[in-house]
Structure 1
Amino acid sequence: MAKILRLLIFIPLGITGFALAIANRQLVTVSFDPFNGGDIPGPSVTAPLFIVLLLALMVGAILGGVATWFEQGKHRRAVRNARAEILRLREKQDRSLV
């Protein structure tokens, strides 16, 4: 069931990505110079638009994952502390039974 559901999601996603790549083949220039206007041009990259879009999507997903990981750090710490407390209480209980 999970395999079928995965196929129902990834096949249309792949078709959409392929259509995006075909429809957006024109070259665009991405400039990394925030102060464009001097005699020396800043660094820039010329690539097809679909590559720029896909890279932006991947960078956004990675940054979102990193932000979520940092945000959930307090929950992971609480679970770690709770597990340590459980172990401490079990050891205390075992000592009192003996």
Structure 2
Amino acid sequence: MKRAFYYLILILALIVMAAFAIANKQWIAEDVGFSYDPSTPGAEATTLHLPMFLILFGVLAIGMLLGGIIVWLKQGRFRRAARVAQVEVERHRNELDRLRSQTAPAGEARSSQTALPSSVPF
């Protein structure tokens, strides 16, 4: 399901980029008309006149933002697994501390308890 959503977003982004490329075919100039409507690229109502570097920096910023959001969403399962593992480690540490405090008398050295039995497959 996630893969289909990803491809749907990718196809929509490609369609939008193709429409902007068709509507803005002029060469790099000092002042560029940026048209929102690919069917009538010269219409003043749908054209924004900006220097080309502003358009390029805007596209770069939007691309970086969208890329960061996509990466953040794709790595969500790993962050969730790390949180679950951290909670489990803390739970086991607390249980180990509780068991050690129950079995060891106060003041006794724990050197005999730290050795693993020979049946452990480590």
TM-score after normalising by structure 1: 0.63
Q: How does 1:9-24 map to 2 (within 5 A)?
A: none
CA distances 1:1-41 after superposition (whole Å, capped 9, x unpaired)? xxxxxxxxxxxxxxxxxxxxxxx55211222235x45xx96
Q: What is the alpha-carbon distance in structure 2 between the residues aligned to residue 78 and residue 30 of structure 1?
A: 45
Q: What is the alpha-carbon distance in structure 1 between the residues aligned to residue 83 and residue 37 of structure 2?
A: 45
Partner of 2:85: 82
Q: Give the count of matched residue pairs.
A: 72
Deviation of the 1:64 alpha carbon: 0.5
- From the two aligned structures, give the one with the greater helix fraction: 1
Alignment of 1:45 onto 2:66: no
Identity %: 35
Q: What is the alpha-carbon distance in structure 1 between the residues aligned to residue 30 and residue 44 of structure 2?
A: 22
Give the gaps of 5 or more residues in structure 2: 1-27, 102-122
RMSD: 2.1
Q: Whose Rg is larger?
A: 2
Q: What is the alpha-carbon distance in structure 1 between the residues aligned to residue 54 and residue 91 of structure 2?
A: 54
Alignment of 1:32 onto 2:56: no
Alignment of 1:95 onto 2:98: yes
Tell me if structure 2 keeps the 8 A contact 1:32–1:44: yes
Q: What is the alpha-carbon distance in structure 2 between the residues aligned to residue 43 and residue 25 of structure 1?
A: 19
Equivalent AA in structure 2 for residue 31 of structure 1: S
Does 1 or 2 have the higher relative contact order (CA < 8 Å, sep 6+)?
1
